[in-house]
A and B are shown apart, each in its own frame.
Chain A
Amino acid sequence: MDYKKLVADCIKCIPDAQRQLYEHFAAAMLGVCFRYTKSIADAEDVLQDGFVKVFKHLRSYKFEGELGGWIRKIMVNTALNFLKTNKKYQYDLSFSDMPLHPVSVNDPAVDLQTKELSELIRQLPTGFQTIFNLHAIEGYSHVEIASMLGISDGTSRSQYARARALLIDWIEKFSLKEQPERYGRK
């Protein structure tokens, strides 16, 4: 796909181009939004706001990185804004500065389907879920996350460690539960 032409047409506000851009990225971006929220309706709200921002700020995209990456960054920021402004998530997102107890760092093989794994991530408390998404999936450093969420990088680190440990525990339990069923099928 010729992104340069597509972006140029979108800047010119050509409806077909805008629709094409949306259709090309919508499914993947809803996947991103879905990971940060607790329901598909909220994810769709984030997607909607995110795409409005994309079309509004498309002029500022200088083709320095991938278009998908740029749109994804906007989606992540929109999701964070949504969590901060939405009362449903606000309480869960208030992080304690108290250091958490260290957790074991085992590293299991992730033998889950994409949807199953995303469901487990979404079941994490909002604060854990956000930090896990930002660090493990988006690849932000703890310093960057601290800046984005207005917390200290130490808090970000400890929260992430707890989130990771919790998720690994759930993955292991889920895998054990699933294995007999799988073998039974064979």
Chain B
Amino acid sequence: MEENKFEKQVQQKMDELQIQPSESIWEKIEVQIGKKKKRKWGVLILFLCIGVLLSGTYCLWNAGRQEVSKNTNSEKSILKKNSNSSSVKENKIVQQQINPVPESENKKNNDVAKDEEKGKEKQNRSFNTSRPGHPFNSVEKSTISFSGRKKIKEDIHGKTETETFPAEALQSQVANENIIRDSLNANEKKINIDSVSKPVVLDKITKQQDTSKQKTMAETVRHSVKNRWKFGVLFIGGISGVGTDFLALDNSPAYSSPGSLNLSGPPQQSRFSSPVMKAAFSFVTGLSAEKNISKKIKFVSGINFRSSSASFKLYDSAGAYYARGAANKYINHFNFIEVPLSLKIQIGKVKNLPMLWQGGISISELISSNALQLNASTGYYYKDNSLFNKTQIGFNTAFLLTLFSTQKNSVLIGPYLYYDASKIANEGLYYKRHFVFTGLHTAIILGK
């Protein structure tokens, strides 16, 4: 009772003690609170930038591919048209050589055809607004090309003249001419069919040439589509362990109390043993990019956020942590930015559900951690991230089953293993320890 009386008096007096702090204290607190907010925003902004960068690259890449395919398509159509016109031209020459039909008959046929052509020309003039009164024939068509300066042969009053036009002016003209050319092609085909029987063989040959050209072009386009980068998102959830051996099963304490046997940790004997580390939930999430190297092998990279964890028990007293009387669970988080460099190899020949093996290395950088260190003499836990090796190199492997492989977006799912080859720290509670992470790998690959 007496003791309590003294203590009560002291307590009362001390509760009255108030000292006004200097103004600079609040300014310092404000800066520290602001810093933490900024740091969080910094990480978010970093992720956003990476996301924007990757999606931007993807869009640009796609746009580039579309442009290339458009160009190849237009080139194909031009080639087709040119070959058509040249075939007509060739037909005419061959017609003269092969066709045994007398000239008089031919003239008759041609006159009839010309009359028809004139009639068609009248119709076509209404389309050709840029150069009215200048009809095209099959000879003209073959001379049209996309070079800087182009020559067009024109028949004006029976004379053949050569004029030079700038390419820009010709672009619009070419569009008009294409329409006329198509109609003329149809007319000329009619003439050929009427007057000539044998040049059809030549037509077939030219058609075969065209189809072979188209095939090679289609192959090159298909090849380029196969070789393009594919992007995806991934999430791997699982548990991570911390240990000194390969599978992180050895959790012997880094510090041991006197009398206890410690073979793995540094030669320290202290009043407090380090806690037994237990596995905790960990995850990896990020963006992946992959490219075909060969028919069955793909190169995979990307950027991930990896959160590895380990838990142990301690005594938590409103933010202060002690080893004595350990009753509360504390989860140590290690957050990394990771760049994996892997190969994905197809196993077996199952087409509906392709199996893949993925393996490679991951380079990661520690960005934040709430992990605690133990002061072995006082039993007091504290934070000191300077003890950790910031850059880590690890190996990753996974067996993946491809779902919806025939659809636009495919899903990969399977077991995943990550082994951290680098030590977490060279001193302290994580001395010579490394992470092992096992989990379920899920990924969505965008695009076929």
A178 CB, min distance to chain B CBs, angstroms: 15
Encode contact with B along A110-129: 1 for CB under 8 Å, 0 otherwise: 10101101100100000000
Chain B residues in 8 Å Cβ range of A30: 18-21
A146 at the interface (CB under 8 A from B): yes
Chain B residues in 8 Å Cβ range of A80: 320, 380
Q: How far is the CA of A108 from the CA of B108 in the complex (A)?
A: 143
Chain B residues in 8 Å Cβ range of A110: 6, 9-10, 13
Encode contact with B along A43-60: 1 for CB under 8 Å, 0 otherwise: 110011001110111000
The answer to whether A27 and B375 have CB atoms under 8 Å apart is no
A31 at the interface (CB under 8 A from B): yes
B317 at the interface (CB under 8 A from A): yes
A77 at the interface (CB under 8 A from B): yes
The answer to whether A52 and B378 have CB atoms under 8 Å apart is no
A179 at the interface (CB under 8 A from B): no
A45 CB, min distance to chain B CBs, angstroms: 9
A157 CB, min distance to chain B CBs, angstroms: 12
The answer to whether A147 and B322 have CB atoms under 8 Å apart is yes
B37 at the interface (CB under 8 A from A): yes
Chain A residues in 8 Å Cβ range of B2: 105, 107
A162 at the interface (CB under 8 A from B): no
A103 CB, min distance to chain B CBs, angstroms: 12
B83 CB, min distance to chain A CBs, angstroms: 71
B201 at the interface (CB under 8 A from A): no
B16 at the interface (CB under 8 A from A): yes
Q: How far is the CA of A85 from the CA of B320 in the complex (A)?
A: 13
Interface of B is mostly: mixed
The answer to whether A31 and B271 have CB atoms under 8 Å apart is no
The answer to whether B29 and A40 have CB atoms under 8 Å apart is no
Knowing A22-B29, A56-B36 are in contact, say whether A150-B13 is a contact too (CB < 8 A).
no
A74 at the interface (CB under 8 A from B): yes
Chain B residues in 8 Å Cβ range of A44: 21-22, 25
The answer to whether A15 and B380 have CB atoms under 8 Å apart is no
Q: How far is the CA of A22 from the CA of B23 in the complex (A)?
A: 11
The answer to whether B6 and A150 have CB atoms under 8 Å apart is no
The answer to whether B17 and A118 have CB atoms under 8 Å apart is yes
B395 at the interface (CB under 8 A from A): no
Chain A residues in 8 Å Cβ range of B5: 107
B379 at the interface (CB under 8 A from A): yes
Knowing A77-B320, A107-B3 are in contact, say whether A52-B14 is a contact too (CB < 8 A).
no
| Closest residue on chain A to residue B272 by CB atoms | A150
Q: How far is the CA of A115 from the CA of B18 in the complex (A)?
A: 9
Please tell me which one of the listed residues B9, B13, B318, B377 contacts residue A77 in the complex, with CB atoms under 8 A apart. B318
| Closest residue on chain B to residue A31 by CB atoms | B17
B132 at the interface (CB under 8 A from A): no
Please tell me which one of the listed residues B6, B13, B17, B380 contacts residue A107 in the complex, with CB atoms under 8 A apart. B6
B333 CB, min distance to chain A CBs, angstroms: 15
The answer to whether B21 and A26 have CB atoms under 8 Å apart is yes
Chain B residues in 8 Å Cβ range of A55: 29, 33
Chain B residues in 8 Å Cβ range of A139: 11
Q: How far is the CA of A34 from the CA of B21 in the complex (A)?
A: 11
The answer to whether A18 and B33 have CB atoms under 8 Å apart is yes
Chain A residues in 8 Å Cβ range of B17: 28, 31, 34-35, 114-115, 118
Please tell me which one of the listed residues B19, B36, B37, B324 contacts residue A40 in the complex, with CB atoms under 8 A apart. B19
- From 318 to 338 in chain B, residues with beta carbon under 8 angstroms from any chain A beta carbon are 318-320, 322-325
14 new A-B contacts at CB < 8 Å, known A77-B319, A110-B9: A18-B33, A26-B20, A27-B19, A31-B18, A48-B29, A51-B29, A107-B3, A107-B6, A110-B13, A115-B17, A147-B322, A148-B317, A150-B272, A150-B378
User: Can you pick out 28 interface pairs between chain A and chain B where the beta carbons lie within 8 Å of each other?
Assistant: A15-B30, A18-B33, A19-B26, A26-B25, A31-B17, A35-B14, A40-B19, A43-B19, A48-B28, A48-B29, A48-B32, A57-B318, A74-B319, A77-B317, A80-B320, A84-B378, A84-B380, A107-B6, A110-B13, A114-B13, A117-B10, A117-B14, A147-B315, A147-B322, A148-B324, A150-B272, A150-B324, A150-B379
Which 7 interchain pairs have the tightest Cβ spacing?
Answer: A150-B379, A77-B320, A31-B17, A27-B18, A110-B9, A107-B2, A147-B325
